[in-house]
Amino acid sequence: MPKTNNLLTSIDLGTHRCCCVIAEITGPESLEVIGIGSRRTDGIRKGVIVNLEALVASIRGAIDQAESEASATVSSVIASVPAAQAKSFTSRGGVTVASRDRVVTRKDLAKVDEMVRAVQIPPGQSILHVVPQEFTLDGQEGIQDPVGMTGSRLEGSFHVVTVPQQTAQHVVTALNAAHIDHVESIVYPLLASSEAVLTREERDNGVFLIDCGAGTTDLALFERGALWFTGSYPVAGDLITNDISIGLRTPVPEAEMLKRTQARAVAGVDDDLVLEVATVGGGAPRLVACSLLTQVVSPRVMEIFELSRQIMDRFKLHHRARAGAVLVGGTANLDGIVEVAEEVLGMPVRVGVPSAVVSRAGEIDAPSFAGPVGLLEWEMRVGRRQRAAETVGRNPFHRIRESVGRASQWFGQMF
Ligand SMILES: Nc1ncnc2c1ncn2[C@@H]1O[C@H](COP(=O)(O)OP(=O)(O)OP(=O)(O)O)[C@@H](O)[C@H]1O
Ligand SMILES: [Mg+2]
């Protein structure tokens, strides 16, 4: 049985699915998945927690399954909050370099970070991450790490991600009620997914990460290695299923099955095929051409990316994604979705699957595993480093990296 202190466990809380992944730490930068559990999520609607008791049962079900596969017991997790609940903005801070010789130190960075954290955020919100973007030293822009450089005025821009205090509180309460004593980190899901699916070149050159799930489509812009924008809208896979159910007059479970097994977002070679489709009310099945299914699905898929495109246009982001867009989330499995996305967004698009983590449990090379596997990778590369810095005395560096408190810190800030 693996030693539990050598394990990391993630819980990705989606509208549709609650997924738990347990991995063994096999090296300083390597993980091996040893248990996967997933349950339909009850209690979250369009990214909002609406029934805590139902959510607890889903979480516990997913953990039980993963624990039994991994032959391990989980007591601490890295969790996501529904992305739709997050808001973000860029904030700047500036200080006079403190040392006599005007060499920038980590203390100067920590002071800029502190200024950014002191920024007024809307009432009821809590800061989840403060992600450094770039620094300016005596007017010289675009510096990624100014430590060791000489100058007198240091300014920095940071992307601040906030969530409603109540949302984070509900996530922790639900996990505690599911017998998870310790929530190591709470992470914005697209920061997590970015760790699992984006290449360094994409992050540097500029890329949109688009998570098309069940209830919401969430997007984030990464550029020059940092996070610059987040957005979300409630149009995603559930609506495709609904459209099939209404358009083909078939019950929702049948529509969901048809979507997963037969649907295409664009016309294909097998459009002439005829499908036998169950009817609402249990009457005799009807025969439906595949082309009709495509006609029902395609407009909604186009709408999903048109809404992304509108956001990109409204915030003048389109030209910044020189590496195009990467799709994750369950809806990214839909046949033909990449073609539609490329046409509507006018940029190269690929589907992102976790690639650096191996699994000796089930398959994880699917776009819906970007979230749960990304949470583990985020913890390895960011969360643990922050905590290591915290324990080695008052090293201010941790505050400059993307910062998220452990659950205890969360509660400290909130109540
Ligand atoms: N093969 C497939 N083809 C089309 N759609 C699929 C396929 N597999 C899963 N989906 C859809 O993906 C969606 C679930 O995706 P995911 O697990 O990323 O959602 P979630 O994270 O629970 O939801 P959200 O991110 O909206 O909170 C569902 O709408 C499901 O029908
Ligand atoms: Mg999701």
CA of 174 to the centre of ligand 2 (A): 18
Ligand 1 pocket test, candidate residues 55, 235, 259, most atoms within 8 A of CB: 259
Start-to-end C-alpha separation, the chain? 39
What's the Cα-to-Cα distance from 131 to each of 125, 189, 212, 371, rounded to whole Å? 17, 14, 23, 19
Residue 389 is assigned to a structural domain of this protein: no
**129 shares its domain with 264:** no
**138 shares its domain with 250:** no
And the tokens for 102? 């005007």
Residue 368 to residue 373: CA distance in whole angstroms: 9
**311 shares its domain with 405:** no
Residue 23 is assigned to a structural domain of this protein: no
Q: Is 364 exposed, middle or buried (0-12, 13-18, 19+ CB in 10 A)?
A: buried
Average pLDDT of the chain to the nearest whole number = 89
| Residue where one domain finishes, among candidates 298, 326, 352 | 352
CA of 295 to the centre of ligand 1 (A): 20
**107 shares its domain with 232:** no
Residue with the smallest CA separation from ligand 1 atom 20 is 14
pLDDT digits (tens, 9 = 90+) for 304-334: 999 999 999 999 999 999 999 999 999 999 9
Residue with the smallest CA separation from ligand 1 atom 6 is 331
- What is the residue range of 264's domain? 199-352
CA of 198 to the centre of ligand 1 (A): 20
Mean pLDDT of 73-84: 94
And the tokens for 265? 């977002």
Domain of residue 150, CATH code: 3.30.1490.110
**218 shares its domain with 331:** yes
SS3 content of the chain, % helix, strand, coil (to 5): 40, 30, 30
**95 shares its domain with 205:** no
What residue has token string 């999903």? 304
What predicted TM-score, i.e. pTM, was given to this entire model?
0.92
Nearest Cα to Cα of residue 156 among 109, 102, 96, 191: 109
Residue with the smallest CA separation from ligand 1 atom 9 is 330
**157 shares its domain with 203:** no
237 CB near ligand 1 (under 6 Å): yes
pLDDT digits (tens, 9 = 90+) for 145-185: 899 999 999 999 999 999 999 889 989 999 999 999 999 99
367 CB near ligand 1 (under 6 Å): no
Domain of residue 271, CATH code: 3.30.420.40
Residue 298 is assigned to a structural domain of this protein: yes
Nearest Cα to Cα of residue 254 among 234, 283, 215: 283
CA of 329 to the centre of ligand 2 (A): 6
Q: How many distinct structural domains can be found in the chain?
A: 2
CA of 253 to the centre of ligand 1 (A): 14
Residue 237 is assigned to a structural domain of this protein: yes
**140 shares its domain with 226:** no
Helix or strand (DSSP H, E) at 242: helix 237-247
**154 shares its domain with 235:** no
CA 360 to chain centre: 24
Residue 330 is assigned to a structural domain of this protein: yes
Residue 388 has pLDDT above 70, yes or no: no
